[in-house]
Structure 1
Amino acid sequence: MKEIAFFVGVLFQLSILSLTESSGFSIDLIHKDSPLSPFYNSSMTQSDIFINAAFESISRAESFSVNIDQNSDETITIPNKGSYLMAFFVGTVPRGSLAMADTGSDLTWIQCLPCTKCYTQRIPIFDPRKSDTYHLIPCGENSCKKLRRNSCGNIGECRYEVHYASNSSTQGTVAKDTISFKNSYNGRIIKYPNTIFGCGYNNIGVFRPTRAGVFGLGSSKLKFGIDTQTKRIGVVTTPMVSKYPSTFYYLSIENVNINGRMVRPYESPIGNIVIDSGTTTTFLKTSWYKKVEAVVLDAIGHQSVVVKYPIRPYRLCYKHGSITNFPNITLEFFGACIELKLNTLSTFITIYNLTCFAILPAEKISIIGNLMQVFFNIEYDLDK
Structure 2
Amino acid sequence: MKEIALFVGILFQLSILSSAESNGFTVDLIHIDSPLSPFYNSSMTQSDVLINAAFDSISRAESFSLNIDQNSDETITIPNKGTYLMAFYIGTIPRGLLAVADTGSDLTWIQCLPCTKCYNQRLPIFDPRKSYTFNLVRCANSLCKKVRRNACGIFGDCRYKVDYASKSSTQGNVATDTISFNNSYDGYSKLKFGVDTQKNRTGVITTPLVSLNPSTYYYLSLDSVSVNGKVLKPNESSFGNIIIDSGATITFLKTSWYEKIEAAVLEAIGRQSVAVRNPIRPFRLCYKDGSITNFPTITLRFYATLNDLKLSTMNIFVTLGHLTCFAILPTEKISIIGNLLQVFFNIEYDLEDRTVSFAKANCLKE
TM-score (norm 1): 0.82
Q: Distance in 2 between matches of 1:74 and 1:122?
A: 30
- State whether structure 2 residue 150 is matched by structure 1 residue 150: yes
Q: Secondary structure at the match of 1:267?
A: coil
Which residue of 227, 232, 257 corresponds with 2:196?
227
- State whether structure 2 residue 111 is matched by structure 1 residue 111: yes
Tell me the residue number matched to 2:58.
58
Q: Distance in 1 between matches of 2:240 and 2:88?
A: 32
Tell me the residue number matched to 2:5.
none
Letter paired with 2:290: G
Letter paired with 1:337: L
Q: Secondary structure at the match of 2:64?
A: helix
Structure 2 unaligned residues grouped into runs of 5+: 1-18, 354-366
Q: Distance in 2 between matches of 1:130 and 1:343?
A: 49
State the 4+ residue runs in structure 1 displaced beyond 4 angstroms. Answer: 19-22, 183-186
**Contact 2:207 / 2:304 at 8 angstroms: preserved in 1?**
yes
Q: Percent identity?
A: 72
Q: Secondary structure at the match of 2:179?
A: strand
**Contact 1:112 / 1:127 at 8 angstroms: preserved in 2?**
yes
Structure 1 position 242, deviation (Å):
0.5
The CA RMSD over aligned residues, in Å, is 2.0
Tell me the residue number matched to 2:122.
122
**Contact 1:27 / 1:184 at 8 angstroms: preserved in 2?**
no
Tell me the residue number matched to 2:31.
31
Q: Distance in 1 between matches of 2:205 and 2:327?
A: 22
Q: Distance in 1 between matches of 2:263 and 2:317?
A: 15
Encode CA deviations 1:315-359: one digit per residue, 9 max, x unaligned: 111111111010001111111232111110120111121111000
**Contact 1:79 / 1:100 at 8 angstroms: preserved in 2?**
no
Letter paired with 1:381: D
- State whether structure 2 residue 262 is matched by structure 1 residue 274: no
Structure 1 position 230, deviation (Å):
5.2
**Contact 1:25 / 1:184 at 8 angstroms: preserved in 2?**
no
Q: Distance in 2 between matches of 1:141 and 1:337?
A: 45
Q: Secondary structure at the match of 1:26?
A: strand
Structure 1 position 77, deviation (Å):
2.4
Which residue of 299, 304, 327 corresponds with 1:330?
299
**Contact 1:152 / 1:158 at 8 angstroms: preserved in 2?**
yes
Q: Distance in 2 between matches of 1:21 and 1:262?
A: 42
- State whether structure 2 residue 100 is matched by structure 1 residue 100: yes
Encode CA deviations 1:179-231: one digit per residue, 9 max, x unaligned: 11124589xxxxxxxxxxxxxxxxxxxxxxxxxxxxxxxxxxx9812325254
**Contact 1:329 / 1:341 at 8 angstroms: preserved in 2?**
yes
Structure 1 position 20, deviation (Å):
10
Q: Secondary structure at the match of 1:367?
A: strand
Which residue of 276, 282, 299 corresponds with 1:307?
276
Tell me the residue number matched to 2:264.
295
**Contact 1:230 / 1:237 at 8 angstroms: preserved in 2?**
no
**Contact 1:307 / 1:319 at 8 angstroms: preserved in 2?**
yes
Q: Distance in 1 between matches of 2:201 and 2:82?
A: 30
Q: Distance in 2 between matches of 1:21 and 1:92?
A: 22
TM-score (norm 2): 0.86
Q: Secondary structure at the match of 2:161?
A: strand
